[in-house]
Structure 1
């Protein structure tokens, strides 16, 4: 078993009561942030005596994913002796789905995240609830959903709370009931329901109570790499090749230089996306086409200086 020699104590963030949850679901991509998240989670789960409640989940993106990602995610879980599950969208893969929809995802319409990550992970929640009920649990099953999102990554992620309830209209918890009553009041008066009065469309329902925890939300990139190197876990080779993140090979939020570098490293998938782009008549992104990325990658003999991106 690998043990991190470095614990950041969450930079003053409070650790949730891990023992109050039946399941602790750690979302991993095999990238640096989820590696740091997993090492930090293991520190606190070990202290709380709940390592057996952790389920590591990887949302497999299929052909849109960097080669070896799924296997590396499994390796990271195995290093800590943790249960590992893979989830994926039922049906066509991401590239085929782009062609079916006739459009690429965008910053304003990130259907790739909901269809290929959030939805499949919620099906795992359902399966875990069934496991608890089969073992004799009665009442809502408490699940802590743990992710490696960081404030430094983007303005949108900076607004996230390190700990929050994943509320929903059908969740019976006091806060969701309060918001539901507020929302119904606005509706009865024929008024638009403001955001603060909406319970949300989260993963909680009558059978499960889901909270979200971001253990490394306040960490810098330097903090993350320090934890990664101290953990002894193997790092994906895409980083050594110049990529700042291990997302989709061609994330619609990536910087242009990151897209060019990925196209140099993954010429086949890049060419396929360019062909899809031509067939559906929809650009990869408003400011850049995949055809332009492929051409720039071919015309750039040396690896570009890669800028990170906002996600």
Structure 2
């Protein structure tokens, strides 16, 4: 099939609401962490949404983010406007001030470092564009790369819905999970089919991206991250000691464990190169 035939086939598989929003000139905001899911989602949207209707937003996580995230985004996208935003406080500062780490039930790392800055940025961008007379920029489709396969919680997410809290002041806002039903295999295959590679951390052994050390990580990822980023790992160990808390939730099998107990990597050990 030629490019126009591929486009038509892709459009035919989209929900009717999305087809209508594309036709109405909605701006599609692509949340891009630099990870594999964001990359695959971008590639899907690149082939379906006109370039003038695509904007990329990246929440910079500062010192806890894997190096090269923004460079990777720029290298694998087509030059759409890229808005990099951040919280006024970094994650480690938040932990120090609160005296505790985020948890699966209290994920300030998501709300404060990602969702909040991104939504503020999107609102500011749409206000500016509407002020320039581009009325369609009051119509927002916020695209995120969460997938059902990742966790029971994410499997229950609604793939498309109107965001009432952000649909105000002349703005109509929808949240969309374009690859919610994709498998990990689908994600990597889509990236490869585009002639691209995912961020280097996957080849280094990581299965997750975003924060180097995530409260949702498994033992293998924590161990790999400790070897790849020993200086940051040491800071997490220091925070565990200074707060008297541990980063990871206790497990039924092992109970409460420090990062050193989980990974077997003692703070101060060198990185694997």
Q: CA deviation at 1:234?
A: 3.8
3-state DSSP class of the match of 1:242? coil
TM-score (normalizing by structure 1):
0.75
Q: Deviations over 1:165-224 (max 9, x none)?
A: 1122xxxxxxxxxxxxxxxxxxxxxxxxxxxxxxxxxx3323322101111111111111
What are the residue-to-residue correspondences of 1:26-175 with 2, within 5 Å? 26-45=30-49, 50-77=50-77, 80-90=78-88, 92-136=89-133, 141-168=138-165
| Greater relative contact order structure (CA < 8 Å, 6+ sep) | 1
3-state DSSP class of the match of 1:44? coil
Could you say if the C-alpha distance between residues 9 and 162 of structure 1 is closer, same or farther in structure 2, counting changes exceeding 3 Å? farther
Q: CA deviation at 1:95?
A: 1.1
Q: CA deviation at 1:278?
A: 0.8
Q: Deviations over 1:236-272 (max 9, x none)?
A: 1110111112121000011122111111111111111
**Equivalents in 2 of 1:292, 1:44: separation in Å?**
47
3-state DSSP class of the match of 2:76? helix
Report the RMSD for the aligned CA atoms in angstroms: 2.6
Q: CA deviation at 1:298?
A: 4.9
Name the counterpart of 1:14: 15
Gaps of 5+ in 1: 169-202, 304-311
Q: Deviations over 1:79-119 (max 9, x none)?
A: x13111101002x3111211111110000000110000011
Q: CA deviation at 1:140?
A: 8.6
**Equivalents in 1 of 2:236, 2:61: separation in Å?**
15
**Moved >3 Å (runs of 4+):** 6-13, 137-140, 298-301
Name the counterpart of 1:209: 172
Q: CA deviation at 1:139?
A: 9.6
Which of 214, 222, 229 is matched with 1:259 structurally?
222
1:297 matched to 2:270? The reply is no
TM-score (normalizing by structure 2):
0.85
8 Å Cα contact 1:129/1:207 also seen in 2: no
8 Å Cα contact 1:140/1:209 also seen in 2: no
- The number of residue pairs the alignment matches comes to 256
Name the counterpart of 1:235: 198
**Equivalents in 2 of 1:58, 1:133: separation in Å?**
22
1:25 matched to 2:26? The reply is no
